[in-house]
Amino acid sequence: MGMPRSMWKGTLAFGLVSVPVKLYTAVGDRSVRFHQLHAADHSRVVQKRFCAAEDREISYEEIVKGFEIAPGRHVVIEPEELAVLEPAFSSTIEIEQFVLMEEIDPILFDRPYYLVPGRGGAKPYRLLLRAMHDTGKVAIGRVVLRSRQQLVAIRSREDALVMTTMNFGEEIVPTAELEELHEERVELSESEIEIAERLVDSITRPFDVGDYRDTFGQALLALIERKAGGEQAMPEPPAREPQLQAPDLMSALEASIEQVRARRARDGVPPAAKREKRRGAAREGAAAKSPKKARTRG
């Protein structure tokens, strides 16, 4: 695996400070991708640029960008017109404000990227990184990527700045438009709420992304490897715990709690209250041992 290549270079600006930066993708796509093949001979299926009006294949040079304003009517935008607009936006990430992370609804987040310092930008980059880490703030700004203006959130993570593209507010579908949420009026009893909260507490534990793997992707790759080796047998479905059948909602909640307790007892996991008590004691011990970090200059 070679060195990653930056996908964008520009300037990160906050106040009168400008930091030359480069952008790298922070997520590697490990999806299993398939080619489309002709079933008869397994040859690749290719897609061609075809003009339906002239009934012929056309070259890439004959294609322009058009926006549909009515059925069959388009406004064509020339590359030169786009080029006039883009430079004003595409070379700078302008920080417009700082906020707390909890102020941002996670539904707004899209895709993360690493921002790293460009030539001559190490000191202001480190200064911004340190200030954002110490204050716990997230920067909000805008940038143009691939001919589209993006709202972005920038935060500190370990020793780097992470820029996450965001959806604009008008792109989020309001829950009011989901009819199923409002078709039936339901009443919740206090006992139902209490036992549902107990079930949530029983399955609560510290989040560690390392606990999760793409098990479907792994099974799919294993199937591909077996078939490549000549095996043609159908894959075995993955084993699952049997689903309990409960006559009503309360019974289902109670049975779920008992199932969680049995699974934790089998795996040697202590109850939630004991786990939290142990974590609290560990945090207090760590806090007592570690001296407060002094601010450094330079």
CB distance 153 to 109 below 8 Å: yes
Percentage helix, strand, coil, to 5, in the chain?
35, 25, 35
Helices 190-202 & 249-267 angle (0-180, nearest 10): 20
Which residues are registered as beta bridge partners of 166? 109, 151
Beta strand pairing call for 109-117 and 17-25: antiparallel
Tell me the one-letter amino acid at 226: R
Which residue from 88, 69, 67 is spatially nearest to 77, judged by alpha carbons?
A: 67
pLDDT in tens, the chain (298 residues): 556 788 899 999 988 888 999 999 998 877 888 899 999 999 999 888 999 889 999 999 999 999 999 998 999 988 888 777 765 566 889 899 999 999 999 999 999 999 999 999 999 999 999 999 999 999 999 998 877 889 999 999 999 999 999 999 999 999 988 888 888 888 889 999 999 999 888 888 888 888 878 777 888 788 888 878 888 777 777 776 666 566 778 888 888 888 888 888 887 766 655 555 555 555 555 455 444 444 433 3
Element holding 19 (H helix, E strand): strand 17-25
- pLDDT score of 87: 58
Contacts of 117 (CB under 8 A, 6+ apart): 19, 20, 21, 22, 124, 125, 126
Which residue from 70, 58, 64 is spatially nearest to 82, judged by alpha carbons?
A: 64
Which residue from 91, 109, 206, 104 is spatially nearest to 165, judged by alpha carbons?
A: 109
Q: What distance in Å separates the CA atoms of residue 232 and residue 234, rounded to the nearest whole number?
A: 7
Tell me the one-letter amino acid at 184: E
Which residues are registered as beta bridge partners of 155? 162
Residue 16 CA from chain centroid, whole number = 31
The residue length of the chain stands at 298
With 0-12 / 13-18 / 19 or more C-beta atoms within 10 angstroms meaning exposed / middle / buried, residue 143 is buried
Element holding 263 (H helix, E strand): helix 249-267
Q: What distance in Å separates the CA atoms of residue 60 and residue 75, rounded to the nearest whole number?
A: 19
* Residue found by looking up tokens 């011990």 in the block: 285
Residue 112 CA from chain centroid, whole number = 7
CB distance 101 to 155 below 8 Å: yes
Torsion over CA: 167, 173, 175, 180 (sign): negative
- pLDDT score of 266: 83
Which residue from 169, 166, 171, 167 is spatially nearest to 155, judged by alpha carbons?
A: 166
Task: Give the SS3 label for residue 231.
Answer: coil
- pLDDT score of 138: 96
Element holding 133 (H helix, E strand): helix 122-135
Which residues are registered as beta bridge partners of 152? 141, 165
CB distance 137 to 154 below 8 Å: no
